[in-house]
Chain A
Amino acid sequence: MSFSFQLAHALPEAILAIGALALVLVGALGGQKKSWIVAELSMALLGAALLACLFQPKASTILFHGLFIDDAFARFMKVLALTGSLVSLLFSLEFLRVNKMDTFEFPVLILLSSLGMMMLISSNGLMSLYLGLELMSLALYVLAAFQRDNSKASEAGLKYFVLGALSSGMLLYGASLIYGFAGTVTYTGIAAAIHGTASIGIIFGLVFLMTGLAFKMSIVPFHMWTPDVYEGAPTPITAFFASAPKIAAVAVTLRVVSIAFPGIVPQWQQIVVFMSVASMALGAFAAIGQTNIKRLMAYSSIGHMGFALVGLSAGTQQGVEGVMIYMSIYLVMTLGTFAAILSMRANGQPVENISDLAGLGKANKPMAFFLAMMMLSLAGIPPLAGFFAKWYVFVAAVHAKLYLMAVLGVLASAVAAFYYLRIVKIIYFDEGGPAFDPASRTLRTVLAVAGVFVLAFWFYPAPVVQAASLAAKSLF
Chain B
Amino acid sequence: MGAVAVFFYVFAAVLVASAFLVISAKNPVHSVLFLILAFVNAAGLFMLLGAEFLSLILIVVYVGAVAVLFLFVVMMLDVDFAELKQGFSQYLPVGALIGLIVLIELTLVVSGFVITPVALHQAASPVAQDANNVLALGEVLYTQYFFLFQGAGFVLLTAMIGAIVLTLHHKPGLRRQNIAEQNARTREDAIDIVKVASGKGLRAAE
Contacts and interface: CB of A to CB of B under 8 A. Distances in A.
Interface of A: 17, 20-21, 24, 63-65, 67-68, 103, 105, 108-109, 112-113, 115-116, 119, 127-128, 131-132, 134-135, 138-139, 141-142, 145-146, 148, 157, 180, 183-185
Interface centre among A17, A20, A65, A141 (most CB of B within 10 A): A65
A65 B145 contact: yes
B119 A131 contact: no
8 contacts: A64-B146, A67-B145, A67-B147, A109-B158, A109-B165, A134-B155, A157-B166, A185-B124
- The 5 A-B residue pairs with the shortest CB-CB distance in the complex, in nearest-first order: A183-B122, A142-B162, A64-B147, A131-B151, A65-B144
B162 A138 contact: yes
Given A67-B148, A127-B148, A184-B122, A142 B161 contact: yes
A240 B124 CA distance: 37
Interface string B141-165: 0011111101110110111011011
Contacts of B164: 105
A457 to B, nearest CB: 36
Interface in B162-177: 162, 164-166
Contacts of B148: 67, 127-128, 131
B172 to A, nearest CB: 13
A131 B152 contact: yes
A148 B159 contact: no
B162 A128 contact: no
Nearest to A64: B147
B154 A17 contact: yes
A105 B161 CA distance: 7
Nearest to A108: B161
Given A142-B158, A142-B162, A145-B166, 17 more contacts: A17-B154, A24-B161, A65-B144, A65-B145, A65-B146, A67-B145, A67-B147, A105-B161, A105-B165, A109-B161, A113-B158, A116-B158, A131-B148, A132-B151, A135-B155, A142-B166, A183-B122
B154 A128 contact: no
A139 B162 contact: yes
B166 A128 contact: no
Contacts of B118: 183
Given A65-B144, A109-B158, A135 B151 contact: yes
A142 B124 contact: no
Chain B interface category by residue count: 20 to 34
Contact of B147 (A103, A108, A128, A135): A128
A112 B122 contact: no
B121 to A, nearest CB: 9
A112 B157 contact: yes
A138 B158 contact: yes
Contacts of B124: 184-185
Contacts, number: 73
Contacts of A108: 161
A183 B144 CA distance: 18
A189 to B, nearest CB: 9
Contacts of A103: 165
A112 B157 CA distance: 9
Nearest to A154: B166
A112 B158 contact: yes
Nearest to B124: A184
A185 B145 CA distance: 13
Given A64-B147, A67-B148, A141 B155 contact: no
Contacts of B162: 109, 138-139, 141-142
A119 to B, nearest CB: 6
B147 A139 contact: no
A148 B165 CA distance: 9
Contacts of B146: 64-65
A141 B150 CA distance: 21
A125 B200 CA distance: 88
Nearest to B151: A131
A207 B183 CA distance: 66
Nearest to A16: B154
Nearest to B119: A183
Contacts of A139: 158, 162
A127 B145 CA distance: 10
A142 B165 contact: yes
A20 B165 CA distance: 16
A24 B119 CA distance: 44
Nearest to B160: A24
A158 to B, nearest CB: 10
A469 B37 CA distance: 63
A190 B155 CA distance: 26
A184 B126 CA distance: 13
B161 A65 contact: no
Contacts of A115: 154
A309 B180 CA distance: 63
Contacts of B147: 63-65, 67-68, 128
Contacts of A141: 162
B151 A128 contact: yes
A141 B166 CA distance: 11
Nearest to B169: A148
A365 to B, nearest CB: 41
Contact of B158 (A65, A67, A135): A135
Contact of B154 (A64, A112, A145, A148): A112
Nearest to A189: B124
A321 to B, nearest CB: 29
B7 to A, nearest CB: 34
B122 to A, nearest CB: 3
Contacts of B152: 131
A21 B159 CA distance: 14
Contacts of B165: 103, 105, 109, 142, 146
A109 B154 CA distance: 11
A17 B150 CA distance: 10
